[in-house]
Amino acid sequence: MRFYAPKGTTDILPDMAKKWRYLERKASDLFEKYEYEPIVTPIFEHTDVFQRAIGTSTDIVQKEMYTFEDKGGRSLTLRPEGTAPVIRAYVDNNMNQMPQPVKLYYTGPMFRYERPQAGRYRQFFQLGVEAIGSDDPAIDAESILLMIDYFRSVGLKELTLYINSMGCENDRPKYVELLKQYAIAHEQELCKDCRKRVELNPLRLFDCKEESCRRVMEHAPKITDYLDEDCKNHFNAVRRYLDMQGVQYIIKPELVRGLDYYTKTTFEVVSPLLGAQNAIGGGGRYNKLVEEFGGPPTPGIGFAIGLERLTIAVEKEGAFVAMEEKTDAFIAVADKAVKEPAVNLLYALRGAGIATDIDYTGRSLKGQLKYANKKGFRYTIFLGPQELETGIVQVKDMKTSEQYAIKLNELVDWLSNIVKSQTMGSGVTKQS
């Protein structure tokens, strides 16, 4: 093997790509039902877009970014996540002049330089939504409910939803200071990593898996107890909206998430069907981010779903719907002499909207049949000198082995009708 895909990347072959297309189609259908509109932003941005948005002390910025200099000497970075570019685009394009809130969704590759692992790649794909311009707790709930709705719509049953409030600039600094004091008081009992965390990022103390650290943190002050009036009310309102829709959730005060821009609501959905990387979707509110990019004070909230992890979960759930039976036609050329009329027929059928193919490798007639069978064509049309002479072709139903004699000039209609009725028929059968 001479060449291979770079570490942490992989080719998505047709079987997998079809599943992805299905998941993406389901997503855009549902997102649009919630009145979100598509947006496409560049795959790379100026490096400071991410440094500014995500925070210079985060792992993503410190060690995971694909940063390079272009020939003009600009520092650019392959996007490690989708929210920052969307917010940059919002400000860049003066979208605050549009009716608020602006509700957007996107899909595409993200890049993070990490050691690959189950459900983790250096290039990975996300489906995301952002609602910019509202601080209504009902839209926090909408974001969460949309994500849950989507997971249900693709057949996921066992999901755990965690929610939290990270507070805001008024209450969080006080809380972090309090947490720090608590940690310092228990420094003797903390592991080496955690002692560093005390100064660097006290909120991360909750993530440690060391037994002694966990014992300490169990009794640590929880952010949800130190929210100011506004944040507390907001959080309670979000919870009420979730309760109203009967959605189960677990409040997880240690749910911090690794991006600095979050304020108030954060949430995450994990699947028990996955390994260590079990978060299939996560998001939160970011009320300072638009300002950070030089726009007017504008609140926002959104989430992202990992397509690879989602695929694994849906697969494990056995929830991929069976592909619809093909009704495609294959033209078997019985004699090379009629190749040209056969190609004409090929385009006549395609022109009539019938998915059709023909042999391009010079196979024998039997070989063509085998090929048609393996590729799952429903109908094989035999075309040879006889057929051209009589104007009647043989059409074989590959599923039932029945064979029909059809007038060449009626073939398009005949196939169109049968394809139509079968597509409808299969739909009816499926429902009953």
Q: Which of residues 226-265 bind RNA (CB under 7 A)?
A: 256-259
Is 24 a residue that touches RNA (CB under 7 A)?
no
Q: Please give the Cα distance from 152 to 278 (Å, whole number).
A: 17
Q: Per CB under 7 A, which of residues 133..152 are in contact with RNA?
A: none
Residue identified by tokens 């029945």 is: 402
Q: Please give the Cα distance from 239 to 224 (Å, whole number).
A: 13
Q: Helical H runs in 306-377?
A: 307-317, 339-351, 365-374
Q: Per CB under 7 A, which of residues 76..105 are in contact with RNA?
A: 81
Is 195 a residue that touches RNA (CB under 7 A)?
no
Contact range with RNA by CB under 7 A, out of 171-179, 220-228, 286-294, 302-310 = 302-310
Q: Minimum CB separation from RNA for residue 99, in Å?
A: 28
Q: Please give the Cα distance from 285 to 88 (Å, whole number).
A: 16
Q: Minimum CB separation from RNA for residue 158, in Å?
A: 16
Reading the block at residue 363, the tokens are 């196979």
Q: Please give the Cα distance from 420 to 354 (Å, whole number).
A: 10
Q: Minimum CB separation from RNA for residue 198, in Å?
A: 12
Q: Out of 88, 103, 112, 239, which residue is the one contacting RNA (CB under 7 A)? A: 112
Q: Per CB under 7 A, which of residues 27..66 are in contact with RNA?
A: 58-60, 63
The closest of 97, 172, 169, 170 to 132, measured between CA atoms, is: 97
Say if CB 72 and CB 122 are below 8 A apart. Answer: no
Is 282 a residue that touches RNA (CB under 7 A)?
yes
CA distances from 19 to 129, 148, 322, 401 (A): 21, 19, 10, 30
What is the dihedral angle through the alpha carbons of 112, 113, 118, 119, rounded to the nearest 10 degrees?
Answer: 10
Closer of 237 and 388 to RNA (Cβ): 388
Q: Minimum CB separation from RNA for residue 58, in Å?
A: 6
Say if CB 282 and CB 303 are below 8 A apart. Answer: yes
Q: Out of 233, 245, 344, 373, which residue is the one contacting RNA (CB under 7 A)? A: 373
Is 335 a residue that touches RNA (CB under 7 A)?
yes
Q: Minimum CB separation from RNA for residue 379, in Å?
A: 10
Q: Out of 126, 164, 263, 287, which residue is the one contacting RNA (CB under 7 A)? A: 126
The closest of 58, 145, 127 to 281, measured between CA atoms, is: 127
Q: Please give the Cα distance from 302 to 290 (Å, whole number).
A: 13
Closer of 3 and 432 to RNA (Cβ): 3
Closer of 71 and 209 to RNA (Cβ): 209
Say if CB 87 and CB 287 are below 8 A apart. Answer: no
Q: Out of 103, 172, 264, 396, which residue is the one contacting RNA (CB under 7 A)? A: 396
Is 1 a residue that touches RNA (CB under 7 A)?
yes
Closer of 193 and 317 to RNA (Cβ): 193
CA distances from 346 to 185, 340, 430 (A): 79, 10, 31
DSSP class of 55: -
Is 364 a residue that touches RNA (CB under 7 A)?
yes
Closer of 117 and 248 to RNA (Cβ): 117
Q: Out of 70, 73, 99, 115, which residue is the one contacting RNA (CB under 7 A)? A: 115
Closer of 26 and 232 to RNA (Cβ): 26
Q: Minimum CB separation from RNA for residue 4, in Å?
A: 6
Q: Per CB under 7 A, which of residues 203..222 are in contact with RNA?
A: 204, 207-209
Closer of 246 and 252 to RNA (Cβ): 252
Q: Does the CA dihedral 110-99-290-77 come out positive or negative?
A: positive
Q: Minimum CB separation from RNA for residue 389, in Å?
A: 8
Is 281 a residue that touches RNA (CB under 7 A)?
yes
Say if CB 224 and CB 235 are below 8 A apart. Answer: yes
Reading the block at residue 186, the tokens are 């228990």
Q: Per CB under 7 A, which of residues 303..332 are in contact with RNA?
A: 304-306, 308-309
